[in-house]
Amino acid sequence: MILIQGPVPPEPPSIPFDPNMFVSSMDGPAIVMITLLVMTACTIILWPLMRALGRRLEGRGSVDAALRSEMEQMQHRLADVDTLQMRVGELEERLDFAERLLAKAREPDRLQR
């Protein structure tokens, strides 16, 4: 039998970092520490984002100062309108009373004629 020797095929490239080998070499406390670090990093990054989203959903987000002052002016005007409505109501009652007094004063004159 004759053996023909040819070129040797190249070796497959190796993976520079194999996560399976990394995780299998770690013990329990190291996994717990890495898990806590990842959770802490996520909390630090996501906490402000979630608060901003919550404020926006509540409607308390970035309220423009001009809009806020305009709202305060509108509230003051509404309070003034309420006061004026009460005064107009009182004036209507006084006018009705005065009209009734005048009508009573004129009725005896009509009866005497």
Based on the fold, state whether residues 53 and 72 are members of the same structural domain: no
The string of pLDDT tens digits covering residues 27-85 is 888 889 999 999 999 999 999 999 989 888 887 655 678 888 999 999 999 999 999 99
CB burial readout 56-71, b (16+ within 10 A) else e: eeeeeeeeeeeeeeee
**Tokens 């970092």, residue?**
17
Based on the fold, state whether residues 83 and 110 are members of the same structural domain: yes
Task: For residue 27, give both structure tokens.
Answer: 């013990």
Q: Is residue 63 part of a domain?
A: no
Question: How many domains in the chain?
Answer: 2
pLDDT at 88: 96
The string of pLDDT tens digits covering residues 1-23 is 677 777 888 888 776 777 777 77
Based on the fold, state whether residues 48 and 72 are members of the same structural domain: no
d(CA 38, CA 32): 10
Based on the fold, state whether residues 79 and 47 are members of the same structural domain: no
Q: Is residue 73 part of a domain?
A: yes
Domain boundary among 57, 83, 100: 57
Based on the fold, state whether residues 38 and 73 are members of the same structural domain: no
pLDDT at 60: 65
CB burial readout 18-48, b (16+ within 10 A) else e: eeeeeeeeeeeeeeeeeeeeeeeeeeeeeee
Domain that holds residue 39: 22-57
